[in-house]
Amino acid sequence: MSATHRLSIAGVVLTTLLLMGVSVAFGMAPLQGWTVGLFLLLELGIAPCLLLAPMAPLWFSLLAITTSLTATVAIGFSMALSALWHPTVALWAVVIVTLGMLAVSIRRDLRVLRNSGITAAVKTPGQAVRRLTIAGVGIVLLAALAQQTIPQPGGLFSSLNVFWYLGLIVLVTAAVWAKRAASSPAFPVLALSGIVVLSQAVVYGSPAVMSAARHVGIVDYIRSNHQVNTGLDIYQAWSGLFAGIAWICDAANISDAMTVATWWPVILSPAIALATAALASRWVVGPHRIWWVAAISALTGSLNIVYFSPQSFGYFLALVIFALTLTERRAERMTLLRAPRGMVAFILLVSIIMAVSHQISPYLTVAALGVFWLFGYLRPWWMLLVVLVPALVWAGLNTAVLGRFLSIGAIGNLFQNLQPPKHSFATLPTPAVTTLAFAIPAVLLVVVGLLAVFSLLRLRTRFAWSLALAALSPATLFAATDYGQEGIFRVVLFAGPWLAILVAANAWPFVRATVPAAAAGLAVLLGVNIYGQTALDWNRVVTPDAARALKIFESSAPGIPASRGATALFDRESSVLLLTGTANAAPQTITGRYLEVQYVSREIFGRYPSSSESYDAAADVDQLTLKYEDSFEASRLFALVSTSIGAYDERYGFQSYADYKKLATAMAESPRWKPVVTGPTATLYELLG
C-alpha cells in the first residue's frame, strides 16, 4: 500500500476515535456504542499494522482485523479471568496506545509522501467495480430497511421486494465485471459473503440463530459478576469470545448484548472470506482465482451458518493460522533461532485465543497442519506445537467440566459419530422446505467435492494430494467424539476451503467463456446460499418479544445460587419455565442468571399429540399442566407460547402449526394460566396456584 493509502486508513481510525470522544462527552449512547464497537472489533489492530513494513492490502486487512479481534478477546478475557474488571480504564488505555502508534506511522508516511511527492489519482477499472459494489450494497440495505418485519413462513427472500434482488444483481455484475476488466473482485466477493446476514440483521433486528441467546447469557454473566467462573460449565470455561464481547458492551455502554450478537455475523462473514482469500493466495496464482476460492467457500457454507458463536470465531482463527503458517516446499526452512519471532508470537497469540474460545477448533486445525507438514508445506515442524500446546494446557486445566462432554463409548465409534443431528419426536413427515434447506446446499457441496476430485485426478501433484488429504483431516474428529452428533457439520466446514482451492487450482476447459460461466456460477452459488441461510428463518430467528419475555422471566423469577445451578436442577427454591414445544426454538438462558432458573420442554412428558381433526387443544393443555405441576415442586412455574416454537415443531414434524395455534388459544383461555408478558409472537404465562 502507498503512503497515501496508509494515511487515509489512519484518518479513518482517528475519525472513529474523535466521534467516540464526542459521544462520551455529550452522552450520545447510540453513537458511543457504534464507535467503540467498531474500534474494538475492526480498528484496534490497524495502528500496530501501520507500523509494519508496507504490505499488500489483502494481508494488511487480514492482520488488522485479526489483531483487533484477538487483542479485544485477550484483554477482555484477562480482566474476566483475574476478576479485575475495569472496562472503561482498559478502553482508554488502549486508545492512548493507539494514538501513540498512529502518531509514529503518520509522521513516517508524511515524510515518505514529502520525499516522493503526491501523484494524481489515475482512473482504473477497479474504481468502477468498487462503485458498483457500493451501489449494490446500498440498494440491498435500503430495501431491507423498508421491509423490517418479524420472520415469515416463506423466509427472508419472500419478505423483501424486488429492489433487494436488484441490489444482488448489481453485486453479481460487479464481481463479473471485475473479471472482464482484469480487476480484483475483492470488494464484490466480500460484499456477497455478508450480504445475506446483513439483510437479516436489518430486517429482523435480532440474531438469526436461536443458539446465539445462550451465548449472550454468558456475556451477561460476565458483565454482572465482573468475572468468569470456569468451574461452572463448559461455556464459562471456554469463554474467551464472550469475555471480549462483554468488555465491548460495558465500554461502549451497550445495555443489551443481543445487539452485538445481531451484527456479529455481518463482521465475521467477510472476515472469513478475507482469511480464505489470503489462504488461497498461498496456493493459486492470480487475484481472480484467489477471490473465487473465497466466494465458493463462503457461499457454499450455509450448512454452517455464521452466527454469534465460538465455533464461527474459532473457524476464522483457524483460517488465519493456515494462511500464516503454510509455505511453499521450496521456501527456505526456518529453524527455531531463525524464525521471525514477531510472526511466531502472533500465531501463538491467535492459538491461545482459539484455545480459550472453542474446544474443537484447535484440534481440527492441528489435524490439517499435520497433513501439510507431512507433505513439506509446514515449516518448521514445531509450529504444530505452537497451535496444539495452548489447547492441551487449557483443556487440562478444565477437565472437570470437559469430562461431562466426553464419552468412552464414542471413541472409535465412527459410524455413530458420523450421524447428523436427529429429531426423535417427529409425528409428521418433515416438510419439503426443511429437507430442501439442508439438501440443496449439501448437493452443491457434493458438486464442489466432485469437481475437487476431478482436479485431483487431473493434477496428481503433491500439492493436490496435500489439499485432498487436508480436506479429509477433519474426519479425525469422528474417531474420538460425536460432538453432540453435529460433528459432520464441523467436518464439512473445515473441509470447504481445501476443496475450493483444489477446484480453483485446475485449469478448466471453459476458461475462454469465463465471464458467462462466472455469472452463471456465481448466481447459482448465491441463490443456494440465500435459500440455505434464510428458508428456515421462521423457526430459527430470535424474535425480540420472545427474547424480552425470557429476560423478564430470568431476571425476576426466584432462583437458586449460580454455584448450585449445575447440580441443583429443579430445586424448590428455583423457578421453572415450560417451553410448550421443542427447546430448540426459544432464546433461553439469555441473561447472567441462566444457571439460577430452569427450562423444560414438553418433550420430557412424552411424545407430541397426534395431529388430526380430533385434536383437543383444551384437553392437551389441561393434561400438560397437570403433568407439569406434578413433576416439579419449584416455587413458581411459568410457560412460554411463541410463534417460533410452533414454527419449529411444524418444520421438524413434531406438531402441525395449526394444532399449535389451537394450543396457544387454549392456553390463553385457560383459567390456570395468567399472562405475564404478551407480544406479537410470544406470551409468557405463570401458573396460578
pLDDT in tens, 373-389: 999 999 888 999 999 99
Which of 62, 86, 118 is the C-terminal boundary of a domain? 118
**DSSP H or E segment with residue 80:** helix 57-82
Least confident of 98-107, 505-514, 531-540: 505-514
Indicate the angle between helix axes 258-280 and 487-505, nearest 10 degrees.
40
Asked whether residue 557 falls in the same domain as residue 641, the answer is yes
Asked whether residue 422 falls in the same domain as residue 497, the answer is yes
Tens-digit pLDDT profile for residues 460-503: 899 999 999 999 998 887 766 665 556 677 888 999 999 999 99
* 140 within 8 A of 156, measured Cβ to Cβ: no
In-domain check, residue 588: yes
* 391 within 8 A of 369, measured Cβ to Cβ: no
3-state DSSP call for residue 465? helix
In-domain check, residue 195: no
- The reported pLDDT for the residue numbered 110 is 92
DSSP letter at 267?
Answer: H
Tens-digit pLDDT profile for residues 22-72: 999 999 999 999 999 999 999 999 999 999 988 999 999 999 999 999 999
Band of pLDDT at residue 114, cut at 50, 70 and 90: confident
DSSP letter at 340?
Answer: -
Predicted confidence (pLDDT) at residue 200 exceeds the cutoff of 60: yes
Helices (H), 460-585: 462-472, 487-505, 514-534, 537-540, 544-556
- The reported pLDDT for the residue numbered 488 is 76
Least confident of 110-124, 256-270, 423-437, 641-655: 110-124
In-domain check, residue 640: yes
Which of 88, 118, 148 is the C-terminal boundary of a domain? 118
**pLDDT higher at 46 or 595:** 46
In-domain check, residue 114: yes
Asked whether residue 547 falls in the same domain as residue 680, the answer is yes
Asked whether residue 551 falls in the same domain as residue 675, the answer is yes
Q: What percent of the chain has pLDDT over 70?
A: 90
**pLDDT higher at 116 or 562:** 116
Tens-digit pLDDT profile for residues 323-377: 999 986 544 444 443 457 889 999 999 999 999 999 999 999 999 999 999 999 9
- The reported pLDDT for the residue numbered 563 is 57
Predicted confidence (pLDDT) at residue 551 exceeds the cutoff of 50: yes
Band of pLDDT at residue 655, cut at 50, 70 and 90: very high
* 594 within 8 A of 554, measured Cβ to Cβ: yes
In-domain check, residue 311: no
* 416 within 8 A of 646, measured Cβ to Cβ: no
- Taking the alpha carbons of 280, 282, 283, 288 in that order, is the dihedral positive or negative? positive
Tens-digit pLDDT profile for residues 397-435: 998 888 766 655 555 555 565 565 555 678 888 999 999
In-domain check, residue 12: yes
Asked whether residue 492 falls in the same domain as residue 621, the answer is no
- The reported pLDDT for the residue numbered 175 is 93
The count of domains in the chain is 3
What is the C-alpha separation between 592 and 217, in angstroms, rounded?
Answer: 5
Torsion of CA 592, 598, 602, 606, to 10 degrees: 130
Those residues with Cβ within 8 angstroms of residue 675's Cβ, 6 or more apart along the chain or in another chain? 668, 683, 684, 685
Asked whether residue 590 falls in the same domain as residue 652, the answer is yes
- The stretch 283-290 carries a mean pLDDT of 84
DSSP string, 588-645: -S-STTTTTSEEEEGGGG-SPPPPSTT--HHHHHHHHHHHHHHH---SEEEEEEEHHH
- The reported pLDDT for the residue numbered 601 is 94
Asked whether residue 610 falls in the same domain as residue 560, the answer is yes
Band of pLDDT at residue 20, cut at 50, 70 and 90: very high
- The reported pLDDT for the residue numbered 23 is 96
In-domain check, residue 190: no
- The reported pLDDT for the residue numbered 332 is 43
In-domain check, residue 98: yes
- The stretch 178-190 carries a mean pLDDT of 90
Asked whether residue 574 falls in the same domain as residue 444, the answer is no
* 394 within 8 A of 350, measured Cβ to Cβ: no
- The reported pLDDT for the residue numbered 350 is 98
Asked whether residue 549 falls in the same domain as residue 483, the answer is no
Which of 69, 88, 118 is the C-terminal boundary of a domain? 118
Identify the domain containing residue 499 by its residue range.
407-506
3-state DSSP call for residue 304? coil
Please, what is the average pLDDT of the chain? 90
- The stretch 275-291 carries a mean pLDDT of 90
Single out the residue of 183, 248, 177, 206 nearest to residue 33, CA to CA: 248
Asked whether residue 658 falls in the same domain as residue 557, the answer is yes
- The reported pLDDT for the residue numbered 512 is 54
Single out the residue of 336, 417, 325, 414 nearest to residue 371, CA to CA: 325
Asked whether residue 454 falls in the same domain as residue 553, the answer is no
* 295 within 8 A of 192, measured Cβ to Cβ: yes
Asked whether residue 581 falls in the same domain as residue 637, the answer is yes
Phi, psi (degrees; rounded to nearest 5) at 417: -65, -20
